[in-house]
Structure 1
Amino acid sequence: MARSVPACRASSRNALNISIRASVPKLPPYPRLSDSPSHQMATPYFQLRLDSVPSTQDRALEELDAVPVVVMSAEQTAGRGRSGSEWITADRALAVSLALTWDHDDFRPLSLMAGVAAVRATGETLLKWPNDLLVGETKVGGILVERHDTAAVVGLGLNLWWPQAPEGMGALYGEDPGPERHAEIGGLWAAELMRLIEEEGWPLEEYRRLCDTLGREVAWEPDGSGRAVDVADDGALLVEVEGEIRPIYSGEVRHLRG
């Protein structure tokens, strides 16, 4: 069953954690699209809400025409993660994708902006570089960006409630937030992302404040390791390795405990 509606976009490790978390503005527990300033913005997009869909990424691309398209669903039956990883749906989940024309050669800022928009929409998360969503040490969501000629499709997958989550995975809420919560967060995310794309641009300083990777010892494939010290203007993760600063642009980065 589908509903289509018009929308508008409207020092020490502990010290670092305290500084980051203190600077993150908290939204109310259940923000709604109508409460967001970005909802009042003029740039229109088409929004399609579904109960179930094979893939929000594929459906958004199919629907893309003259204006951006947002497709959101509580369930995906053939979803995919980064690098084709298996998609597992939580008991209460959100899958939302934004398809739009993208004329820039570099897609990296779009991916990072999507992460910032997700934190704004949830009000309860931080980012693991580049754009995984964390609650504490647990991943509760992530971003997928796919390029198709002059179009881009940006997807957010978010676990809202998952009482029996697999090891290493978690959810945003400890109690079931109800069946409408996915649409509320999905609408907020799309509005915030459109606002970043159309008006604000790449919010580097905000991203730095939200990035829980900074200050941590990290490792990446195939055999790199070092201390994450900053995020560059182009979005690269800057890592100190044996006294030298090295930019990391892609690959799975892991937080090392200790």
Structure 2
Amino acid sequence: MREVVSETGSTNADLLARLAGDFPPPEGFWLMAERQTAGRGRLAREWESIQGNLHCSTPVHLKPSDAVASTLAFVAGLAVFDTVERSLLPRTSVMLKWPNDVLVREAKIAGVLLERQGNHVCVGIGINVSYSPEILGRKTTHIGYENGKFANGPESVLDLLEDRFAARLAAWRQQPLSHTLLEWAVRSHRYDDQLRVTDPTGERLSGNYRGIDHTGALRIAPQGSAERVLHAGDVMLGWRESEED
């Protein structure tokens, strides 16, 4: 089930309002906007929502048997990874960046934003299909640039995404959480990759990637100190000692 609007502020905001009502949309419903005027990403960042890219949201209704809701970020990340990979040329380098981005050769091509309303989670997804939004200090790319033969639009990409999200959500529910986390981990950072993480308080930490724990938290080993476990933060790939404060 899909609803497409030509323009709105934010598909996440619209879907959250519906989830707060008496008749929340069922799982499998997707709200897509051709353009957003108030798109947003993690940590309250604005997200440029250009017509020709995919901006959409879908609900997940939490069940008592479900894993912790925050791990839906890994479900969504895997579904987006699958979608992007299938839209690009074979052997294109695609990776997941903790906790919620998809990169192509270190340039962001997609992102995920989870927001909760009671026992409902709104999963917002943005995929750069035809244009690369400008993000200060970060590289971006889009499917059309990476695959010059790609002639499909956002709705065709959503066709793929709907199928892959349903499959990844079913696996999250039917198999141990470790299965989803492993599937995510093998598509993400390499052990010992250099990362810089800014946590929600603004503290900045640089170190080497040590994987994720059983909850999906990031494990990082700063130089000269004990390994840290971070449950939230903003990751930049690579760092140099000369950049340290």
Q: TM-score, normalised by structure 2?
A: 0.76
Count of paired positions: 213
Q: Distance in 2 between matches of 1:168 and 1:157?
A: 16
Matched residues in 1 for 2:15 and 2:214: separation? 30
The residue matched to 2:115 in structure 1 has which SS?
strand
How far, CA to CA, are the matches of 1:177 and 1:239 in structure 2?
40
Give the whole-Å Cα distance in 2 for the aligned partners of 1:119 and 1:141: 9
Q: CA deviation at 1:142?
A: 0.7
> In the alignment, residue 143 of structure 2 is paired with which amino acid?
L
2:131 maps to 1:172: no
> Residue 231 in 1 paired to residue 208 in 2?
no
Residues 40-99 of structure 1, C-alpha deviations (whole Å, 9 max, x = no match): xxxxxxx32333332211232344426223212332222211122112024521112111
SS in 2 for 1:220: strand
Alignment-derived partner of residue 67 in structure 1: 26
Alignment of 1:1-258 (within 5 A): 5=1, 47-64=2-19, 65=24, 67-68=26-27, 69-90=29-50, 92-103=52-63, 106-123=68-85, 125-162=94-131, 168-174=139-145, 175=148, 177-179=151-153, 180-200=155-175, 202=177, 203-212=180-189, 214-221=191-198, 222-241=203-222, 242=224, 244-257=226-239
Matched-pair contact (CA < 8 Å) for 1:208–1:230 = yes
Percent identity between the two aligned chains: 23
Shift of the 163–139 alpha-carbon distance from structure 1 to 2, 3 Å rule, reads: closer
**Higher RCO, 1 vs 2 (CA within 8 Å, ≥6 residues apart):** 1
Distance 1:95 1:126 in 2: 20
The CA deviation at 1:191 is: 2.4
Query: In structure 2, the residue corresponding to 1:161 is in which secondary structure?
Result: coil
* Structure 1 position 212, deviation (Å): 2.7
**CA deviation after TM superposition for structure 1 residue 160, in Å:** 1.0
Moved more, 116-125 or 246-255: 116-125
**Structure 2 Cα separation of the partners of residues 161 and 109 of structure 1:** 29
| Contact 1:98 1:190 (8 Å CA) reproduced | no
**Any conservation in 2 of the 1:111–1:143 contact (CA below 8 Å)?**
yes
Q: Is the 8 A contact 2:196 2:237 kept in 1?
A: yes
Cα distance between partner residues in 2 of 1:164 and 1:118? 18
Change (3 A) 1:105 1:198: closer
CA RMSD of aligned residues (A): 2.6
Cα distance 1:213–1:74, how it changes in 2: closer, same or farther (>3 A)?
Answer: farther
Give CA deviations for 1:119-166 in whole Å, capped at 9, x if unaligned. Answer: 122225310111211000101111100111211111111111226856
CA distance in 2, matches of 1:181, 1:107: 28
For structure 1, the 5+ residue unaligned runs are 6-46
Judged with a 3 Å threshold, the aligned counterparts in structure 2 of structure 1 residues 51 and 212 are, in CA distance, closer, same or farther, namely farther
Larger deviation, residues 80-89 vs 158-167 = 158-167
Q: Distance in 1 between matches of 2:5 and 2:122?
A: 17
Give the counterpart letter for 2:15 in structure 1: A
One-letter amino acid of the counterpart of residue 118, structure 2: D
Q: CA deviation at 1:243?
A: 5.6
Cα offset, 1:185, TM superposition: 3.5
Residues 192/121 of structure 1: CA separation in 2 closer, same or farther (3 Å cut): farther
Q: Unpaired runs of 5+ in structure 2? A: 89-93, 241-245
Structure showing the higher strand proportion among its residues: 1
Structure 1 residue 257 displacement after superposition: 5.0
Structure 1 residues 195 and 146 mapped into 2: Cα distance closer, same or farther (>3 Å)?
same
- Contact 1:96–1:186, Cα closer than 8 Å, also in 2: no
